[in-house]
Structure formats: C-alpha cells, structure tokens
Amino acid sequence: MEIIKPLVVPDKLKLMRSLNARMELSAKDKKCYSDLEKGYQGEVIFCDWLGRLTNDLLLLNDVTLECNSTLFQTDKFLLSQHTLYQFEVKNFEGDYYIENKNWYAYPKIDVNNPVHQLDREETLFRQIIQRLGYNFSITPFVVFVNPNFHLYNAPMNQPIIYPTQINRFIQKLSSTPSKLTQQHYSLANQLTSLHINQSPYKFLPPYNYNSLEKGTCCGVCYSLDTEMTPVNMIVCSNCGASESVETAVLRSVEELSLLFPGIKITTSLVLDWCKIIGSRKTLRRILLMKYSLIKLGQSSYFLE
C-alpha cells in the first residue's frame, strides 16, 4: 500500500492541545477538545490496521472537498484496482442503540447518525468522481475502531464495520488482487489537489498572549509540568517523558507561531514563552538550527 496523502495531526487539534494546557477551557470547549483528540486517535488506530495491507493500493487521509457549494470531509479514501473505498472512522465508546432510525448513546443522548452522514458524503463524492471523468465503483463504510463500542438494534444491511470485524475486513482486502494503473494515481493526485484547507481558528475560544500560561509543553501528554535537567533534557513530571532541549524548544516555537500567526520570533519572546530555559545563549543556538536571524539591532528576529 502506498500513502498518497499521509495522516497528520490537524492544526485545530494542535491548537486545542495548547489551549487546554495553557488556560481554563469551558465545559463546551473541553468536550470539543476531547472529541478532536478521540477522533484523531481513532484515525491513527485504523491507519495502523490499513498499514498491514501489502497489496497494490493507494491511501488518502483526511480529504476535504467541495461539491455544489457544500464542503464535506472524508476520513480516508482507499483506491484498489476496481473499487474506491470511502471510510468514515468513529472512535465511539460505550453503549449505543438505534430507535426509529435515530441513534442514541445510552441512556438517551442524541447522536448524529453516522450512516446518514456517510450517505451524504458518498452522494457528493460520486458527483465529483463523475465530473472528473472516472467510473470507479465506490464502496462506503463507517468503521468503529473502539473495542468498547456496542450498537444495539442495528439492521444487518448497514455499511458498518464493527471493531470485531476489522481484522476480517483487512484480511479480505489483502487477499483481493489489485493492480493499479496511471489512472489510479491520476485520480489520487487530483483528489489531493482538490483538498481544501480550512482555517483551524474557527470556533476557538478567545485567547491572547498575556492570558496564556507560559511553559514548555510535554510532547507526549502536553502538560506544562516540565523542567530542564543539568544535562539539557526536558523531563515531564506528569508522565515521565523526556526529550532534548532542542526538540522541545523548536516544538514550542512552532506552537507559538500556530497560536499567533505572523508573530515575530525573538530570543526574548521564546525565553518568556518556554519559561524553564534560562539561557539566552542556549535559545539563540537552538533557534539558529532552523531559523535565519534577521538583524535589525534591538528589533532583530528569526525567520524560517
């Protein structure tokens, strides 16, 4: 299997990880962050399953397309010789049930019907494929990856892959002959080029530089409970993870630039932002590893 569009951490999730660590989120924003994190982890799980495929296939992750002035996002497209698989990945946990075609989480919490969502996406996607001049068979699935998920009253004919069925699905896909041509690559590249990058700043809670807690986030658990050791390692007291000061600083600068697009990166700014690194000389050395210094006297700054 060849990955044409890799799975990456969405910028909105990166932003919410940072804001969750550096400010007190409302209950609504905490749920938004939790949903984003859970959704991404679900995609990682299914990517691991798909990674077992060794036959001739093409994979595209997280593709947002527009059809008839309507935006829709599909978690994964998998191109085989004769079929284009469209996957909507869900990391639901707990007991769910269907009643009069409506979905609920136990005891009776309304849930958007993921099969209806998939049907809508398939209809729009089919129109795009036809307009591009292709005639592939499209097979859509909702994939539930969490082993602690159970759905009651589910009809047999739903386009659903349950956690206990994923292994069998992968085995079946592996045993299905697939030989790709230039046409498959052409379609994959066209879909990638049509992908629409949406602004990650929409619906974020309000924040500013002064309102955010300063410190160096752990790269594993995103806690600010970190400290710098005498041997230039950053250690997290929350989860025990450790990393080099260089890695931690460069990631912190990326975080700062994502939170505040266009901000000028200076040694003083990074010193304040990272908090636990007291040496300007160390920070300057690390910044020069990736950034160019624009010398303007006291107004000097670093540019990637």
pLDDT tier at 174 (50, 70, 90 boundaries)?
very high
Between 275 and 304, name the one with better pLDDT: 275
Name every residue whose Cβ is closer than 8 Å to that of residue 189 and which is 6 or more positions away in sequence.
4
Q: Has residue 298 got a pLDDT over 90?
A: no
pLDDT tens digits, 120-138: 999 999 999 999 999 899 9
Q: What percent of the chain has pLDDT over 90?
A: 93
CA distance 14 to 107: 32
Among residues 50, 54, 52, the alpha carbon closest in space to that of 77 is found at 50
**Cα–Cα–Cα angle for 189, 191, 195, rounded to 5 degrees:** 115
Q: Has residue 273 got a pLDDT over 90?
A: yes
Q: What is the mean pLDDT of residues 11-24?
A: 98
Q: Has residue 101 got a pLDDT over 90?
A: no
**Predicted pLDDT at 300:** 87
CA distance 184 to 182: 5
In the chain, % helix, strand, coil (3-state, to 5) comes to: 40, 25, 35
Name every residue whose Cβ is closer than 8 Å to that of residue 175 and which is 6 or more positions away in sequence.
none
Side chain identity at residue 179, one-letter code? K
Q: Has residue 78 got a pLDDT over 90?
A: yes
Q: Dihedrals φ, ψ of 165, to 5°?
A: -105, -10
CA distance 221 to 188: 35
